[in-house]
Amino acid sequence: MPQPERRTARSARRTPFLFSLSLLIFSLSGLSRSVAPEPWSASVFDTAYAQDTPRLGGELSVFAAASLTEPFTEMGKRLEMSYPGLKVVYNFGGSQALRTQLEQGAHADVFASADAVQMAQAKKSEVVQGETPLFVKNRLVVITPKANPGKVAEFRDLAKPGLKLDLANAKVPVGNYSRQAFSKASAEYGADFEKSVLGNIVSEEENVKQVVTKVQLGEADAGIVYVSDVTPKVSKDVLTVAIPDAYNQLAAYPIALTKGVQNRAAADVFIAFVLSAEGQAILKTHNFIPMKE
């Protein structure tokens, strides 16, 4: 008979301990939730963040600069794996064209531009809302067909008479960056450099991927794209020629919620992922420059 009494006493002693432990765990979990980063300031996308939105689902529409095709596609697949009910749908294109589509009533939840100019115009026309943080950077590079018919060995060779140059048009971020590089280089290469290069343009494209394709197909002797556009698949068909740092333009990409966002929860998670350490690592593997190295 004494043995049951000892068990009862031990159990009685254990009960206050377990109750206290439960209170501690509850308090810590509450503290964790209270200091969890807001989506805009998220620095780490982890399972804890995912657990905060277990019912995330539906369709998420993302309008993004064409140069983001590869990393954003990878991010979308990872998010869809984390949230089986979520479907990420992309519209990749020139940032100026995407902004125009939004202004004309097209639906998207997130807009990611290849420059601050297009994002500023999107804010002015009130098709985006809230913060527009910069999330990644990029650099320009000259590409030529593998055979290099124009014999382009350095940046200044783009001024060679008769060279067939393909660029994105001046309203496309990469086209604008390219023209800024020509203008800067004229200080060293001579005042006629910019004029000669622009005179060699045989085609102007609506986005950077079209420039890549034209050069791959040999329809131009050279083109200017982002370093990130020279993917392993593309590098089989082209050569690259560096643009000196003194003239190269550092592209900075902002991202924002649209004014007409319909899937706000998914949009917040997507932006948080892009800004997170994991998202930045994905961008880096695709030759982008993370905001924080």
Instruction: Return the SS3 of 215.
Output: helix
- Interhelix angle 173-189/116-124, rounded to 10 degrees, is 130
Instruction: Please report, for the chain, the start and end positions of each structural domain, with discontinuous segments joined by +.
Output: 39-137+252-290, 140-241
Instruction: Please give the Cα distance from 194 to 192 (Å, whole number).
Output: 6
| Closest CA relative to residue 155, chosen from 219, 251, 249, 288 | 249
HSE value, Cβ hemisphere, 13 Å, CA-based, for 204: 14
Q: Decide if 39-137+252-290 and 140-241 have a common fold.
A: yes
Domain 39-137+252-290 sits in CATH 2.60.40.10 = no
Report the relative pairing of strands 251-258 and 110-112 from DSSP bridges: antiparallel
pLDDT at 53: 55
When the candidates are 3.30.420.40, 3.40.50.12160, 3.20.20.30, 3.40.190.10, the CATH number that belongs to 140-241 is: 3.40.190.10
pLDDT at 201: 98
Size of the chain, expressed as the number of residues it contains: 293
168 pairs with which residues across the strands?
205
DSSP string, 100-128: HHHHTT---SEEE-SSHHHHHHHHHTTSE
Instruction: Return the SS3 of 244.
Output: coil
Question: What's this model's pTM, rounded to 2 decimal places?
Answer: 0.81
pLDDT at 109: 98
pLDDT at 51: 52
Q: Where are the alpha helices (DSSP H) in the chain?
A: 2-34, 47-52, 69-82, 95-103, 116-124, 173-189, 192-199, 208-216, 232-235, 264-275, 277-285
| Closest CA relative to residue 71, chosen from 119, 136, 168 | 136
Low-confidence ranges of the chain (pLDDT < 70): 1-54, 293
pLDDT at 191: 85
